Structure 1
């Protein structure tokens, strides 16, 4: 009888343990589903204020809404004033009407000018226009009657029907302002220049072909850089009446931005661009970059902005995520203090990182280890904790070098233009068209990163590419470009 009871007790204990495991698994699953549902509801129906706040706003709030440094405000005002003063000026004289040319006091008519007059400034928009240029090419004949010499005709591309300014405007409008070619065709028609969308597409790709050596060289310089930021975003490609997913990758340095179109998100593209190179590569946790960083490739640097986003997303279902956000905000506080004191990248900045930032990291690591066993792996907070733990070596790499930023926001900003264009033109015609777009967008984005007007740059470079020595191609890259000193053609 005792043996029978012992056997049943053992079976009941095993059954109880099994039910306890099932109950625990069900609780984790329900918790995960509830967290995902809360995140989905906040994403779809949430208020605008529930978006991830900017680090600058959070730091200002933490410091009691301290105003921006006066020097920064004055500098912004000065730059805006200088930009306005650099605008072309046109004087428009306004005469006093005849019926008003009488003294309001005595009624006399002998009024005389008083100084240059009252000055009122208005900023007016002058609509762009397209003109039909007629270039007269000088023709010379020899008295012998056998020799004739004619001045070359200006021609930016092979067809030669459209001038460099027109071509530069079309490319800049699409790559910089995300205006699809069919919308540009409508705008040109309103200006009295009916141009078919297919024609604009043809000239766009001809410009891409003409400037391909520049885009290729720009990518080579990015590859040679000791520090590169990288990221990727989807792009749709037309394929047999439907679209398929492709990707646009950005590889950038402080002054260069290069895009690469790829048919997939595999690690082949980063390997082709950065394989065999040395230095730092700052990216998120995507494993597609492993082939560049492992085993003896570039040193991987993590992105604290991605970590911050994951903990912020977990906040509605796990309020303890706020602790991690406070730690991360403290890391950014060190960076902003260095920026305000103009010591970014200096030994003083590195010392602050290795003291203040290192202490914050130590506290955050302890907190992560404490929280890991308490949350289901697939819950928002569980995933944030595991992402942070798995990326810890890359996330703490910024302690080695003061020039390494805390996040990969530079690469993400570089992709905003491509993401905006994707919303407007929806897809590219094929992979070759995607490569052309990537090459032209690289030149335009690098112009913007260096304060160069992309329209002026492209208009000048298109005229110089044909005769420029290949050995001096770097002179025509956006960050090294200087406008041509040649005068405009005689229009008389």
Structure 2
């Protein structure tokens, strides 16, 4: 009998051990599930634009055939969309025409009398890589017999510092911020194309010189934005020496300014735009914006994405999402009729009353209540675009402006110090603004570097030596 009891106790102990092991595996699997869900929320959340959300298909891109390598992972397809007109490349005018003739038939060898037609073909080619031009400037020194002042002669193409010219400085900055190359790759590029030996440190210093040369134009962009009637503003994280910082963008129709700051508070727009900024700020729901200005347009793209996300999990939010979407689509169609100011004011009041009624409904789900709270918190800022024709209902312009800094963030990882922040915000602002205005970034960079050299010479006091 005792042996039977011992046998049963041993079996029970074994089962308890298996149960304990299974519980441990379940806990490990649960932790793994939570980790994967956290990673998924990075791509599947209401603050992620549709273009960056992952495809809803279960098939992994790596399991597709080679012929499907160009299928996009966001659910779209490559190439021209249906209904869009094709874009044709305009043929250039030839710089030279060469007559290509033949004397005899390649089949039978009979001689041709004359050509019966011409089949033109345009061929575009770039010149062979050019070696660097090395110039020695023998700068003569002069001493005044009257006052003893010693002066060194200057030349417009001879820089006051360093041994690299304007084109090298401009190409270094463009290679870094336009072509997104690491500095070691920039040195490879100069070596391969021009046979110019350039160290990574020299490429960095050349890029820094381009930023210092363009800083006056950067400040001019800021002054233009400060005077604008409408400014799109947004911010995203960036690292400074491994610590959290933020890159802000301020964008108008013709200017884009970036500012790298360690703060995400209202002090940044107050610094960049000025305490007395009188324009309209188009933004998302971050608290820094209402703390800075009361004249806002909250982004409807953010609102509709968040409402859709909540409605997908909570049935109680479905009528809220439908109401918001119908209101937005209806307003877009109505505004295309170009209503007069009086009609706009009436529509503004009617829609605001509708939003008030929406947020006053009683709900039980906490996420739905949170959504309604956000709508209520921005009641004075959702409908600015109804009364102001030039105001956009979304902040897509600022979000688009942040795409390039986000790509660079993935490449460079972190900015090292204040000098890196200075260069980063300056070059990015200049390139973005020049592109908005249809200007050639390379030509503009060479211009600002050359002009800065001229201004520096005019403002620099010559070396003075007085004869004892």
Instruction: Give TM-score, length-normalised by structure 2.
Output: 0.69
Q: 1-side partners of 2:38 and 2:343: how far apart?
A: 36
> What is aligned with 1:48?
55
Retained in 2: the 8 A contact 1:271–1:291?
no
Retained in 2: the 8 A contact 1:327–1:360?
no
> What is aligned with 2:275?
275
Which ranges in structure 1 are unaligned for 5 or more consecutive residues? 1-33, 55-64, 141-147, 471-492
Structure showing the higher helix proportion among its residues: 1
Q: 2-side partners of 1:244 and 1:92: how far apart?
A: 61
Q: Deviations over 1:21-65 (max 9, x none)?
A: xxxxxxxxxxxxx999978656569851489999xxxxxxxxxx9
> What is aligned with 1:114?
116
Q: Deviations over 1:276-314 (max 9, x none)?
A: 221211211211223421xxxx51221111112212322
Q: 2-side partners of 1:102 and 1:434: how far apart?
A: 68
**Aligned partner of 2:196 among 193, 197, 201:** 193
Aligned CA distance change for structure 1 residues 125 and 181 (closer, same or farther; 3 Å): farther
Q: 1-side partners of 2:354 and 2:283: how far apart?
A: 24
Find out whether 1:313 has 2:315 as its counterpart.
no
Q: How is 1:37-76 mapped onto 2 (pairs within 5 angstroms)? A: 41=40, 47-49=54-56, 67=83, 73=85
> What is aligned with 2:155?
152
Aligned CA distance change for structure 1 residues 338 and 431 (closer, same or farther; 3 Å): farther
Task: Find the residue that maps to 1:405 and give its secondary structure.
Answer: coil
Find out whether 1:182 has 2:184 as its counterpart.
yes
Retained in 1: the 8 A contact 2:173–2:427?
yes
Aligned CA distance change for structure 1 residues 357 and 175 (closer, same or farther; 3 Å): farther
Aligned CA distance change for structure 1 residues 186 and 113 (closer, same or farther; 3 Å): same
> What is aligned with 1:455?
442
Q: 1-side partners of 2:269 and 2:358: how far apart?
A: 34
> What is aligned with 1:386?
373
CA shift for structure 1 position 252: 1.8
Retained in 2: the 8 A contact 1:303–1:406?
yes
Q: Deviations over 1:228-259 (max 9, x none)?
A: 22111111111xxxx11111111121111111
> What is aligned with 1:229?
232
Q: 1-side partners of 2:37 and 2:318: how far apart?
A: 17
Aligned CA distance change for structure 1 residues 88 and 121 (closer, same or farther; 3 Å): closer
CA RMSD of superposed structures (Å): 4.1
> What is aligned with 2:222?
219
CA shift for structure 1 position 397: 1.5
Retained in 2: the 8 A contact 1:234–1:246?
yes
**Aligned partner of 1:162 among 161, 164, 185:** 164
Q: 2-side partners of 1:464 and 1:230: how far apart?
A: 31
> What is aligned with 1:369?
360
Instruction: Give TM-score, length-normalised by structure 1.
Output: 0.66
CA shift for structure 1 position 266: 2.5
